[in-house]
């Protein structure tokens, strides 16, 4: 676990003092801790002692402008390998189980896509309350990991389950959580995204409206599922996804060279809107309007087809997935594209609406079994992030890596 980092949320409970020891134990093992201290947590331990032990500023307020400028709540959890809630109070569990987000801790828990480990600590009657038990079940179903609570004498004098696990036990649970493989661990994934730009001269180029959002969401979902992911991206204006190796290219020919250099890969998802043509000559200096007043004719030549090249490649990925941007006969055209380009699946999307640049997508999955076309799978309208997650799960299932 050396070199890993944990975001520790310290809730309000008498067990908060044990969290200080937890931070020390993690530091001994080379694990870096950043902490969020809730308002209630502050009643039990001081921000100063937490800061002294973590060696970092303690995060407390959702709307602190300097914190938002330095590091927003989304970034806070993204930069950690695991989110640990200790003590996890009944209140924090209830908030997370129900998706409430009204302070920094609950907002971070709602926004994170990292694994969350909770160490509950509360009075035995609070733990046994029907609502807490319901929340506990919901959280487990949502994939939250738990350590404790233990039976024992409690600070309030009662006896029973509710006591927070000891720091060393929490350390062991953290160790297990950090080692948990994702459904795509050991898989190498290649994703292309965005448009390509084809230069006409040093200041002009041909391009298209692709935003890259869908490809970035897919790369992030694959990485989250444990795949070693390389994203080869044309020029776009979005932040690099976390956990993904990003390589930027400009033209179709550069994208092809980068893809071939990245082989072998187990799975390749080609979402890029590659320019089909490029100007046959890219002038070295700016084409001037005033030289002879003749409107230049742009002659186009065909670009290489990256998907088709990979489809016929000696090191063809085991699973090759293309995208099809269509404005009519969506499925029919996608079926033809799958065969023509030697892809296993085509994710067809209807781009006649505001799909390009938007946050939602409606896709149809076209595939074949034993050389015979399968009926298209129609996915309902969903966010591009959801399309990414669902596609990553389908890929894991196909590669026999389902969780
Ligand atoms: N593609 C590619 N190289 C190209 C053109 C497209 O790799 N030069 C890939 C895209 O990344 C996508 C798939 O091929 O995965 C289909 O792209 P699309 O633009 O829908 O199809 P085209 O082949 O360009 O066909 P058309 O424009 O005629 O619909």
CA distance 397 to 403: 8
CATH of domain 5-177: 3.40.50.1950
Q: Which atom of ligand 1 is nearest to the CA of 306?
A: 7
Please tell me if the CB atom of residue 356 comes closer than 6 angstroms to any atom of ligand 1: no
Where would I find the H helices in 1-86? 16-28, 47-54, 65-70, 73-78
**Would the pTM count as exceeding 0.85?**
no
Please tell me if the CB atom of residue 191 comes closer than 6 angstroms to any atom of ligand 1: no
Locate CATH 3.40.50.10300 in the chain: 188-402
- pLDDT digits over 351-374, tens only? 877 777 788 999 999 999 988 999
Percent of the chain with pLDDT over 70: 96
- Whole-number pLDDT of residue 295: 83
- pLDDT digits over 43-53, tens only? 999 999 999 99
Q: What mean pLDDT comes out for the span 245-270?
A: 97
Three-class DSSP category at 1: coil
Please tell me if the CB atom of residue 349 comes closer than 6 angstroms to any atom of ligand 1: no
CB 23 within 8 A of CB 53: yes
CA distance 84 to 174: 8
- pLDDT band of residue 72 (cuts 50, 70, 90) is low
Please tell me if the CB atom of residue 200 comes closer than 6 angstroms to any atom of ligand 1: no
Locate CATH 3.40.50.1950 in the chain: 5-177
Q: What is the mean pLDDT of the chain?
A: 91
Three-class DSSP category at 233: strand
The residue among 158 and 394 whose pLDDT is bigger is: 394
Q: Which atom of ligand 1 is nearest to the CA of 192?
A: 11
CA distance 64 to 198: 44
CA distance 353 to 327: 8
Backbone angles phi, psi at 382, to 5 degrees: -150, 175
- Cα end-to-end span (Å), the chain: 23
Please tell me the distance between residue 236's alpha carbon and the centre of ligand 1 in angstroms: 18
- Whole-number pLDDT of residue 73: 67
Please report which helix (H) or strand (E) contains residue 369, including its range. Answer: strand 368-369
Active site residues: 156
Please tell me if the CB atom of residue 303 comes closer than 6 angstroms to any atom of ligand 1: yes
Question: Token pair 């050396």 is at which residue?
Answer: 2
Please tell me the distance between residue 381's alpha carbon and the centre of ligand 1 in angstroms: 22
- pLDDT digits over 295-343, tens only? 888 999 999 999 999 999 999 999 999 999 898 999 999 999 999 999 9
**Fold exhibited by the domain 188-402:** Rossmann fold (3.40.50)
């Amino acid at each position: 676990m050396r070199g890993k980092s944990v975001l520790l949320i310290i809730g309000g409970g008498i067990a908060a003092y044990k969290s200080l020891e937890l931070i020390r134990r993690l530091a001994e093992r080379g694990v870096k801790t950043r902490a969020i201290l809730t308002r209630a947590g502050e009643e039990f331990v001081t921000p100063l002692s937490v800061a002294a032990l973590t060696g970092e500023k303690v995060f407390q307020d959702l709307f602190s402008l300097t914190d938002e400028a330095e590091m927003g709540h989304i970034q806070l959890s993204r930069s950690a390998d695991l989110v640990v809630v200790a003590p996890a109070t009944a209140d924090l569990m209830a908030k997370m189980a129900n998706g409430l987000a009204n302070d920094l801790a609950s907002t971070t828990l709602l926004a994170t896509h990292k694994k969350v480990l909770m160490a509950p600590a509360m009075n035995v009657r609070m733990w046994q309350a029907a609502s807490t038990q319901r929340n506990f079940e919901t959280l487990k179903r949502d994939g939250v990991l738990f350590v404790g609570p233990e039976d024992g004498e409690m600070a309030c004098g009662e006896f029973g389950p509710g006591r927070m696990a000891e720091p060393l036990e929490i350390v062991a649970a953290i160790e297990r959580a950090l080692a948990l493989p994702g459904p795509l661990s050991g898989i190498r994934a290649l994703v292309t995204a965005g448009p390509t730009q084809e230069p006409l001269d040093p200041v002009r180029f041909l391009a298209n409206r692709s935003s890259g959002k869908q490809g970035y969401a897919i790369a992030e979902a694959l990485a989250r599922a444990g795949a070693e992911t390389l994203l080869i991206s044309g020029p776009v204006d979005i932040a690099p996804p976390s956990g993904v190796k990003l390589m930027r290219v400009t033209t179709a020919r550069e994208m092809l060279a980068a893809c071939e250099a990245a082989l072998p890969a187990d799975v390749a998802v080609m979402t890029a809107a590659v320019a089909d043509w490029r100007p046959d000559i890219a002038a070295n200096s700016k084409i001037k309007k005033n030289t002879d007043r003749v409107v230049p004719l742009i002659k186009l030549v065909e670009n290489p087809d990256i998907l088709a090249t990979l489809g016929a490649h000696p090191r063809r990925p085991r699973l090759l997935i293309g995208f099809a941007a269509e404005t009519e006969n969506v499925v029919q055209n996608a079926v033809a594209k799958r065969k023509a380009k030697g892809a296993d699946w085509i994710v067809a999307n209807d781009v006649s609406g505001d799909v390009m640049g938007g946050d939602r997508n409606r896709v149809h999955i076209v595939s074949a079994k034993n050389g015979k076309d399968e009926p298209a799978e129609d996915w309902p309208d969903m966010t591009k992030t959801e399309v990414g997650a669902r596609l990553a799960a389908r890929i894991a299932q196909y590669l026999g890596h389902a969780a």
